[in-house]
Chains A and B, each alone.
Chain A
């Protein structure tokens, strides 16, 4: 039964990874913007959730506040920083890296260095008996949320006018602009939604993995690994990458904890040698 437990653990972890990496990858696909402050957004979402859930006792309020606050932060970042360096990917990466350091360090200053945990509401707390495996109910909920998000995002991208615009932007931004779409506004919108998503995910993740300094870089690097496996810009790729990495993390921590990171990163580096754009990456 340990195998089943490990696999279920891995899959729920995959759910969290997908929640974190989906916004990251869609944003890259659309604007070629790699937001390395994504992890810091997540961490701030976690801390805001921690404070709000602690004060109000409502998990939902925590999620809402975190989503709105991080969306505003994302909007400010996009308008004040990103627009100044658009079209220069290296400058963008360095800029977001700098922002990530500032936000991560300020979180440490405001909230201290002690690891914290966001309380899971009773409704989805406790554990569940599943084919003889006792498993925390909350993690299964998290997995379900991730699946719902995947379906919703996929439907938006494939089945709606907005999604068609985003996909057109991915393929040929210049042509789309020429046809009368304000691509800057579209990008800002996607960026804000992606920020709100990662802010809310911060709360969900904070109830799963806890909240601690350095959590921003941990989650960022995992998201990076997920999207480079799947291919930057590909939603399906992010889903595949999440499942692979989630399972690797879970199996790795049981069977070879000392080499956990080696088990995670070595296949990625190897894969990129043979498929430089990941499994389903968009061509340049």
Chain B
């Protein structure tokens, strides 16, 4: 079992007071971000839109990876399932965005439940391999079943909600949904539900002895993670207005893991920071080089070797050091 990292604070349930500061910070950030279309061009706003959406997706992955200790290599499948279902309902049945979105999110939850059930008895390295196979299964169906999914050509013509079809109004739409989702995820993490998930990560035997079924808690984690990955998938489909197998592929899953690990697996906002670094980094580097996968691999290797707790962990250590120094001076 992974040891509890140093500096991990086990929060007392019910003390929602401790959530006030981060929630307030998020509301402030939302207000600031809302004014962004007045400051940036279409390209910049688009990049921030994508970062928000995939940031939410990375945070949803971290419900499994960080909170529950389940490193999934198939999380792109959940994102992609929701996006494909939205696209198919729109194209084949003529449904509107808002009609199709709930079904798409439900599909993401459903596939997550299937994943959870099939991986229910695997742990450690086996869990990683099972989730890899799960992801490849979804990718394989999407890529091969070309009469329905368009195969490698993907599906075009995903329609945004009418009121949010411009780049800036869609940005606002995504911003507020991502913001609300993050607040919900934060509250879940700090509730008894989140505490139980951390319980099965740190000490599955004790949790079992206390009467909590590890399998049930895993299922809960997969459902929460799947729901918000589904929300991200719907938003992503609306943003790109196109979906292809590459969104479901293992490369995408690993990119999600990179966001989580780079940002900080033990932090709630870490994966968001990771998403910012990865997506802005890729956008910036694409001007100079096509070797993004090489760079991504090198970053992954370096983070695993040297940066145990990601960017968020470094920031936390730094702020603790500063605080200690200030306190030392005061005394």
Contacts and interface: CB of A to CB of B under 8 A. Distances in A.
Q: Do A and B bind each other?
A: yes
Interface of A: 32, 34, 81, 84-85, 89-91, 93-95, 97-106, 109, 217, 221, 224-225, 228, 232, 257-262, 264-266, 268-270, 272-273, 276-277, 284
B26 interface: no
Nearest to B69: A90
Given A217-B251, A224-B129, 16 more contacts: A93-B71, A98-B300, A98-B304, A102-B294, A102-B297, A104-B293, A105-B294, A106-B294, A228-B133, A258-B145, A260-B140, A261-B139, A262-B140, A262-B141, A273-B121, A277-B126
A84 B305 CA distance: 7
Contacts of B296: 98, 101
B137 interface: yes
Interface in B2-17: 2
Contacts of A93: 71, 125, 128
B139 to A, nearest CB: 7
A97 B293 CA distance: 11
B304 A264 contact: no
B147 A269 contact: no
B293 A102 contact: yes
22 contacts: A81-B301, A81-B305, A90-B128, A93-B128, A94-B300, A95-B301, A97-B300, A100-B297, A101-B294, A101-B300, A102-B294, A102-B301, A104-B293, A221-B250, A228-B129, A259-B145, A261-B137, A261-B141, A265-B140, A272-B118, A272-B122, A276-B126
A78 to B, nearest CB: 14
A262 B251 CA distance: 19
Given A99-B297, A101-B297, A270-B118, A224 B137 contact: no
Contacts of A258: 144-147
Given A261-B137, A272-B130, A273-B121, A98 B301 contact: yes
Contact of B133 (A90, A101, A225): A225
Nearest to B136: A221
Contact of A94 (B121, B144, B257, B298): B257
Interface in B255-275: 257, 261
B304 A228 contact: no
B interface SS class? helix
A73 to B, nearest CB: 15
Contacts of B304: 85, 91, 94-95, 98
Contacts of B122: 272, 276
A224 B135 CA distance: 13
B118 A221 contact: no
Interface residues of B, number: 45
Contacts of A272: 118-119, 121-122, 126, 130
Interface string B81-122: 000000000000000000000000000000000000111111
Contact of A105 (B134, B250, B297, B299): B297
Residue of A94, A103, A228, A284 ringed by the most chain B CB atoms within 10 A:
A94
A74 B137 CA distance: 30
A99 B293 CA distance: 10
Nearest to B290: A109
A269 B130 contact: yes
Nearest to B118: A269
A32 B257 CA distance: 21
B118 A261 contact: no
B143 interface: yes
B128 to A, nearest CB: 6
Contacts of A277: 126
B124 interface: yes
A104 to B, nearest CB: 7
Nearest to A269: B118
B74 to A, nearest CB: 10
Contacts of B299: 98
B125 A89 contact: yes
Residue of A102, A232, A277 ringed by the most chain B CB atoms within 10 A:
A102
Nearest to A273: B118
